[in-house]
A and B are shown apart, each in its own frame.
Chain A
């Protein structure tokens, strides 16, 4: 089962913080993060890289789905 974090519309640093909390809690598997600004996308991808997760970016209209796996 994958966790989905909906961080759309949330200001810095909440998308990055929520991503980090989710990744640290589940440890392994799949986490999806929804964001809608480039800044949030960059910040969440940076968190994923630092926590040792692979991430792919899927553009969905004006938002991004960040699929993180480990």
Chain B
């Protein structure tokens, strides 16, 4: 099995299983075209903890908890649990924040971009073009010598902090304690935050995906990066498999349930806006930030599960970034169909647009100035 996951088929089989499970999660109760979205679900967790008060996006998503813990289980079973940290944590935290802001301007991480496309949402094409552009800029910076420097081995306890944090979140999700009047673990009663599969179902799917992700190194950003940087297509198969499998599952669900799970259009798509430029630009920022941090949001969760404290910092940055994104109205607003039948096109506010510009400037400055001397790596 160890060989299998390192082979060409590892990412392909993992991507296909993730695609099928993500599509099924919608059938089981998750928001449409959002069976799994790492950015959206971390945003919902931020909301559940009251880090933002957008009433429509608050829920402690067990999938995220499962991704980390599933990865931890796989890493322990295959002796790959390696506590490590120390590679520019402040830069990684800020990259996580800006990655989240960019993703929420579009309304989705790369996984959701693929799932939205698998549901017929053509706005995802703009997002994937933006992702490729952002990763492409990241590749140019890497060719120029960009590096955040080395991580170092850490005591075991450091590697266990993120899994422990996830166990804590799971306990909060199960027991839903109330800390005082108006101080609960928030849970949406309307909007995407209110749409979710049963806790146990979400958790088990999360654990399976986490296990597969750790074994196969599945990464949507890495797929494009390796293609641009080295002509390597190892990870790309997984991305294509996810898209194809989710699309096929959506077709089967449409056929068996009579409810449409695929509808090709730019308009009237669930939790989406058709503001083309900002769908593109938001994902340029996200893609660049993922590239500079070394992994898409899903991959960062898998890495944090196998002991990588730097990936964990990126994840925490994303969750805090989600808090800012909603507190300061940076996130894209979905399109609205008015009573008159007119479509009110959504997208980010002027503050969201400025945040994307600041994020791009931050990433470029970091990418151009953070580097490792060649004498430090070669002798």
Binding site for B on A (CB under 8 A): 3-14, 16-18, 20, 22, 36-39, 42, 46-47, 50, 62
Binding site for A on B (CB under 8 A): 6, 78, 80, 82, 84, 86-87, 142, 147-153, 217, 219, 222, 225-226, 229-230, 232, 234, 294-295, 310, 372, 376-379
- Bound complex: CA of A8 vs CA of B376, how far in Å? 11
Do A39 and B310 have beta carbons less than 8 Å apart?
no
Tell me which of B142, B294, B377, B379 has the highest count of chain A C-beta atoms within 10 A of its own C-beta. B377
Report the minimal beta-carbon distance from B158 to chain A, rounded to whole angstroms: 14
Do A11 and B151 have beta carbons less than 8 Å apart?
yes
- Bound complex: CA of A11 vs CA of B303, how far in Å? 11
A8: B residues at CB distance < 8 A: 150
Q: A36-B153, A46-B234 are in contact. Are A9 and B377 (CB under 8 A)?
A: no
Do B378 and A3 have beta carbons less than 8 Å apart?
yes
B294: A residues at CB distance < 8 A: 11-13
Having A13-B222, A14-B142, one finds 7 other A-B pairs with CB under 8 Å, namely A4-B379, A10-B147, A13-B229, A18-B377, A37-B80, A37-B84, A46-B232
CB-defined A-B contacts under 8 Å, sample of 7: A6-B376, A8-B150, A12-B222, A12-B295, A22-B378, A36-B82, A47-B232
Do A14 and B153 have beta carbons less than 8 Å apart?
no
Q: Quick one: closest A residue to B292, CB to CB?
A: A11
Closest 7 CB pairs of A and B: A9-B150, A11-B294, A9-B151, A12-B294, A38-B80, A42-B6, A4-B379
Do B152 and A5 have beta carbons less than 8 Å apart?
no
Do B377 and A5 have beta carbons less than 8 Å apart?
yes
A38: B residues at CB distance < 8 A: 78, 80
Report the minimal beta-carbon distance from B22 to chain A, rounded to whole angstroms: 24
Which residue in B82, B152, B295 is a CB contact (below 8 Å) of A37?
B82
Do A9 and B378 have beta carbons less than 8 Å apart?
no
A18: B residues at CB distance < 8 A: 377-378
- Bound complex: CA of A56 vs CA of B354, how far in Å? 51
B142: A residues at CB distance < 8 A: 13-14, 17
Report the minimal beta-carbon distance from A51 to chain B, rounded to whole angstroms: 10
Do B378 and A62 have beta carbons less than 8 Å apart?
no
Do A14 and B147 have beta carbons less than 8 Å apart?
yes
Report the minimal beta-carbon distance from A48 to chain B, rounded to whole angstroms: 12
B377: A residues at CB distance < 8 A: 5-7, 10, 18
B310: A residues at CB distance < 8 A: 11
